[in-house]
């Protein structure tokens, strides 16, 4: 991620919302609140300053006009390889059937995977997403994403339960061969879910993540079927895996909830990013609050699967780091985090706009272990930002203006590079 001669050195906007951590903001944005008529100064791809606009812009300056410049949004949970499945799979009320369909229609050859990942990455930039936590079966997405401006943690997916558990970590190691990190791409691992990953495989993944300092993510407490599988060693998922010849004597009832099972495996003693966590009781919530784990809530995917209400507001109140993901286009209408936040704004008028915006930016960066370098417009961090046009009929408050409008981003900047420009 090197800066280019055509990259702006100053970006001027009607409003800049730095969302830097700390207390309430003053008019200059100290503390992270909105700054009116402001400049984002960029040096070598990183933020040098956010300050009140002064004088004429030099040759390297870009005036975006009537826009709100926000930290680039972070999609903490997605599967870009499934971008070709947009609108193709209807949910008929059975998660196992849906899973079977996705598995059957997932792209297999390298060219098709790459095309789907590129399509999803381009759509992400156009939606104002500057960083994704992307999970890829077989770990092929990174070869496409390393040449794409979108920043990514590429999570190599690991599956192995029952008969498939013995060589799961060997397969993971093989899938990760040749993988290299750079400023725009980081390595992560993703043991898939408790119904597809044996306890010993989870522990092996944890050891790897700790030894290499890689972020780790897993799907957790996504469906009632998963809960039945874990607690009773039975149900739809159990039957499905038995039918596939995967279940053996090692797959048994634990008597635990999904969250308690995650704790027993060691996932909560690590900064694991837990995707979904749709089903949990009060005890589970307390366990999460006392843990180092983050939760990626995927609001529109949650709606698609007709799950009951998500407890993210209680999680936030309990101090859990809750971020936002879209999940894949097989269950979500777009890859836009702004769209997710706007849905949450409509459903939760009581929540402060800055809280919602944090869920879509800095909380996601924290969940991916990248908050030291992205997630807010703070000096020293990468200049990752999205410019959203001000809605002339919207509220005066710039955060509310963005959350209550349906206007698409005008520009997306990653590492100081103008990675997307509407109409360009
Ligand atoms: Zn997922």
Tokens of 76: 């903490």
pLDDT in tens, 96-106: 999 989 999 99
> Mean pLDDT across the stretch 158-177?
97
Q: Whole-angstrom Cα distance, residue 112 to residue 390?
A: 38
CA of 392: how far to CAs of 178, 276, 277, 354, 396, in Å?
Answer: 50, 35, 38, 20, 9
338-348 pLDDT, tens digit per residue, is 999 999 999 99
Strand arrangement of the beta sheet that strand 273-276 belongs to? 217-220, 273-276, 294-297, 321-324
- C-alpha to C-alpha distance for 116 and 107, rounded to whole angstroms: 8
Ligand 1 centroid, distance to 70 Cα (angstroms):
26
Ligand 1 centroid–CA 117 distance in Å is 15
Q: Could you give the CA distance from residue 403 to residue 70 in angstroms, rounded to a whole number?
A: 12
Residue 380 alpha carbon to ligand 1 centre in Å: 32
| 78 C-alpha to ligand 1 centroid (Å) | 6
Q: How far is the CA of 109 from the centre of ligand 1 (A)?
A: 21
28: pLDDT strictly greater than 60: no
Q: What is the pLDDT of residue 29?
A: 40
Q: How far is the CA of 309 from the centre of ligand 1 (A)?
A: 18
Cα 66 to Cα 28: distance, rounded to the nearest angstrom: 18
d(CA 76, CA 341): 13
Contact 306, 93 (CB under 8 A): yes
Q: Distance from the CA of 277 to the center of ligand 1, in angstroms?
A: 11
Mean pLDDT calculated for residue range 9-16: 97
Residue 25 has pLDDT above 60, yes or no: no
CA–centroid distance, 234 to ligand 1, in Å, is 22
pLDDT the model gives residue 109:
94
Q: What is the pLDDT of residues 187-204, one digit of tens each?
A: 999 999 999 999 999 999
Q: Is 32 helix (H, G, I), strand (E, B) or coil?
A: coil
Cβ within 8 Å of residue 92, ≥6 positions away:
98
Is pLDDT at 134 greater than 50 in this prediction? yes
Mean pLDDT, residues 282-298 taken together: 98
d(CA 3, CA 241): 49
Band of pLDDT at residue 32, cut at 50, 70 and 90: low
| pLDDT band of 120, cuts 50, 70, 90 | very high
Rg of the chain over Cα atoms, rounded to whole angstroms, equals 21
Q: Which long-range contacts (CB under 8 A, 24 or more apart) does 391-398 make?
A: 392/66, 397/34, 397/353, 398/14, 398/15, 398/17, 398/34, 398/68
* pLDDT bucket at 23, cuts 50 / 70 / 90: very low
Can you give the pLDDT at residue 349? 97
- Averaged pLDDT of the chain: 94
Distance 275 CA to ligand 1 centre (A): 7
- For the question of whether the overall pTM of this predicted structure is more than 0.85, the answer is yes
Distance 136 CA to ligand 1 centre (A): 10
The alpha carbon of 128 and the centre of ligand 1 are apart by a number of angstroms equal to: 20
């Amino acid at each position: 991620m090197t800066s280019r001669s055509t990259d702006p050195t100053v970006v001027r906007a009607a409003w800049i919302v730095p969302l830097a951590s700390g207390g309430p903001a003053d008019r200059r944005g100290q503390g992270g609140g909105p700054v009116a008529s402001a400049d984002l100064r960029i040096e070598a791809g990183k933020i040098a300053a956010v300050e009140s606009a002064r004088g004429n812009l030099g040759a390297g300056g870009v005036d975006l006009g009537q826009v709100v410049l926000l930290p680039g949004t972070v999609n903490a949970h997605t599967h870009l390889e499934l971008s070709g499945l947009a609108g193709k799979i209807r949910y008929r009320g059975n998660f196992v059937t849906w899973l079977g369909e996705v598995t059957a229609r997932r792209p297999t050859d390298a060219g098709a995977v790459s095309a789907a990942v590129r399509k999803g990455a381009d759509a992400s930039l156009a939606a104002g997403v500057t960083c994704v936590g992307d999970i890829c079966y077989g770990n092929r997405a990174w070869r496409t994403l390393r040449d794409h401006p979108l920043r990514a943690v590429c999570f190599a997916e690991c599956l192995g339960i029952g008969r498939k558990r013995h060589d799961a970590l060997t397969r993971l190691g093989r899938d990760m061969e040749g993988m290299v990190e750079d400023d725009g791409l980081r390595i992560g691992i993703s043991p898939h879910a408790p119904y597809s990953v044996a306890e010993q495989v989870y522990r092996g993944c944890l050891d790897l993540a700790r030894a290499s300092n890689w972020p780790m993510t897993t799907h957790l407490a996504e469906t009632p079927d998963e809960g039945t599988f874990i607690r009773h060693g039975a149900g739809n998922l159990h039957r499905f895996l038995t039918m596939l010849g995967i279940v053996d004597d090692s797959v048994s009832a634990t008597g635990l909830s999904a969250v308690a099972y995650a704790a027993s495996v060691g996932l909560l003693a690590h900064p694991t990013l837990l995707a979904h966590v749709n089903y949990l009781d009060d005890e589970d919530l307390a366990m999460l609050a006392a843990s180092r784990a983050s939760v990626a809530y995927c609001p529109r995917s949650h709606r698609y699967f007709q799950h009951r209400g998500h407890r993210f507001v209680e999680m936030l109140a309990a101090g859990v780091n809750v971020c936002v993901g879209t999940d894949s286009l097989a269950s979500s209408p777009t890859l836009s985090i702004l769209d997710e936040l706007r849905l949450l704004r409509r459903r939760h008028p009581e929540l402060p706009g800055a809280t919602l915006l944090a869920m879509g930016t800095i909380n996601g960066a924290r969940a991916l272990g990248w908050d030291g370098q992205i997630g807010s417009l703070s000096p020293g961090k990468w200049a990752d930002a999205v410019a959203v046009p001000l809605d002339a009929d919207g509220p005066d408050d710039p955060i509310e203006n963005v959350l209550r409008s349906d206007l698409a981003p005008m520009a997306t900047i990653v590492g100081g590079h103008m990675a997307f420009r509407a109409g360009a």
